[in-house]
């Protein structure tokens, strides 16, 4: 493939800036030129004239962005900058793509392809009329996550992740109108009874039934608010249940937001959030069991944690998602079904160092062989090459 010149749109967050940086680094390792678009970095003001000169001087083949981070609208103009200048761009969604479902808010005239981490959401976008939608799982950077030569297991069981600040969350829930609060309560019960479900379809079906309409209205702000409140609440409930379950028998270290401190007891040691860039690799190396608890809005997909733990040659114990069995073999990763199964597997693998090492070694080999960001970026470039023919 010819050498491409690609503009990368910076993004914000805890992990996402590193993901977009790993994509940029992978492009460069594969022989392409990638530069950040400086005018949309934090604390920068977008200047159309400077942006035009930047584009003219660099002459990009594509712009890569996470989500909608590169859609810059200017006052009085109907199109965002990239559509206005007819610059082809690629969107990567590693979250729920509400923005793409609502075509009324944005123009997508020069959108060439969408890469999304969840196959169910791929179907949703295709139903909305989007073309060139491709499934692209997350991955890892083995230069950021790697095994240590000598490892001391400082932690038996660890979990890294956030939960909502429940007082704030409950205040938002209490502000819902009665109709939406009833729907919210019903959906929480339905989701937990089903042992996990498609949160989007669950809400969509109940929303249609309650509103007596034929289809879901994505423009309805109450729908969006309900979606995010449901996801935040369920994520918090599920993660607390898992941690409480493990801690009923074993000392468990949690690293994350201050919201965890209310759970702290003699078996739950709450630690501050740690840096994704450096410290997290140490933790994955130094934990006997790295727990993975997936957010509800990941319907089939698996999160970053599994790939990063694998690259670190750590052992991961995860809840189930369809993509786990699609991407990994049963001798590479261990999944738990429920609380009893979780405790049984924690006990089994804590008492079998050799077996943990076997799983960790095989997971590491698979991740390095097939699931790095260079693999993902090469797949994206292969698709773009086919589209250019």
- pLDDT band of residue 43 (cuts 50, 70, 90) is low
**Percentage of the chain with pLDDT > 90?**
66
**At residue 148, what are phi and psi to the nearest 5 degrees?**
-85, 155
pLDDT tens track for 345-360: 999 999 999 999 999 9
For range 242-261, the mean pLDDT: 95
pLDDT at residue 152, as a whole number: 85
At 166-207, the pLDDT tens digits run 999 999 999 999 999 999 999 999 988 887 678 888 888 888
User: What's residue 95's pLDDT?
Assistant: 75
- pLDDT surpasses 70 at 52: yes
Mean predicted confidence (pLDDT) in 112-119 = 93
pLDDT tier at 208 (50, 70, 90 boundaries)? confident
pLDDT at 209 over 60: yes
Please tell me the least confidently modeled range out of 143-147, 184-188, 197-201, 368-372: 197-201
Q: Which of the four pLDDT bands, split at 50, 70 and 90, describes residue 39?
A: low
Q: How far apart are the first and last CA of the chain?
A: 11
- The string of DSSP codes covering 33-73 is EEEE-GGGSTT----HHHHHHHHHHH--SEEEEETTTT---
CA dist 140 to 20, 116, 145, 147, Å? 11, 16, 7, 13
Domains of the chain and any CATH numbers: 5-139+373-388 (3.40.50.2000), 155-165+232-370 (3.40.50.2000)
Per residue in 284-296, pLDDT (tens digit) is 999 999 999 999 9
Position 216 scores a pLDDT of: 63
- The pLDDT assigned to 201 comes to 83
CA–CA separation, 234 and 228 (whole Å): 10
pLDDT score for 41: 58
Q: How many other C-beta atoms can be found within 10 angstroms of the C-beta atom of residue 166? A: 16
Confidence check: pLDDT of 143 > 60: yes
The model's pLDDT over 73-102, given as tens digits with 9 standing for 90+, comes to 877 888 999 999 999 999 999 877 666 666
pLDDT of residue 127: 81
């Amino acid at each position: 493939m010819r050498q491409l010149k690609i503009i990368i749109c910076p993004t914000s967050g805890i992990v996402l800036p590193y993901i977009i940086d790993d994509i940029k680094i992978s492009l460069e390792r594969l022989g392409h030129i990638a530069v950040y678009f400086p005018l949309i970095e934090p604390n920068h003001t977008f200047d159309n004239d400077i942006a035009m000169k930047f584009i003219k001087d660099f002459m990009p083949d594509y712009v890569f962005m996470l989500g909608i981070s590169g859609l810059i609208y200017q006052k009085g103009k109907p199109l965002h900058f990239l559509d206005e200048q007819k610059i082809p761009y690629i969107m990567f969604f590693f979250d729920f793509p509400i923005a793409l479902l609502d075509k009324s808010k944005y123009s997508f005239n020069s959108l060439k392809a969408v890469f999304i981490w969840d196959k169910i959401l791929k179907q949703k976008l295709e139903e909305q009329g989007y073309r060139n939608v491709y499934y692209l799982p997350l991955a890892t950077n083995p230069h950021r996550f790697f095994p240590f030569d000598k490892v001391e297991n400082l932690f038996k069981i660890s979990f890294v992740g956030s939960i909502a600040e429940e007082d704030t969350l409950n205040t938002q829930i209490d502000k819902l109108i009665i109709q939406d609060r009833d729907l919210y309560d019903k959906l929480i019960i339905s989701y937990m009874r089903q042992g996990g479900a498609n949160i989007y379809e669950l809400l969509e079906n109940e929303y249609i039934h309650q509103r007596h309409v034929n289809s879901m209205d994505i423009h309805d702000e109450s729908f969006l608010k309900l979606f995010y409140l449901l996801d935040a609440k369920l994520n918090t409930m599920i993660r607390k249940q898992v941690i409480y379950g493990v801690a009923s028998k074993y000392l468990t270290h949690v690293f994350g937001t201050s919201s965890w401190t209310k759970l702290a007891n003699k078996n739950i040691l709450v630690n501050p959030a740690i840096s994704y860039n450096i410290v997290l690799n140490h933790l994955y190396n130094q934990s006997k069991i790295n727990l993975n608890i997936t957010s509800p809005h990941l319907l089939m997909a698996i999160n970053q944690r599994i790939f990063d733990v694998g690259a670190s040659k750590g052992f991961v114990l995860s809840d189930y998602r369809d993509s786990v069995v699609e991407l990994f073999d049963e001798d590479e990763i261990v999944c738990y079904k429920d609380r009893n199964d979780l405790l049984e597997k924690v006990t089994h693998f804590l008492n079998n160092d050799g077996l943990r090492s076997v799983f960790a070694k095989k997971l590491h080999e698979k991740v390095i062989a097939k699931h790095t960001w260079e693999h993902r970026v090469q797949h994206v470039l292969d698709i773009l090459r086919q589209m250019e023919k």
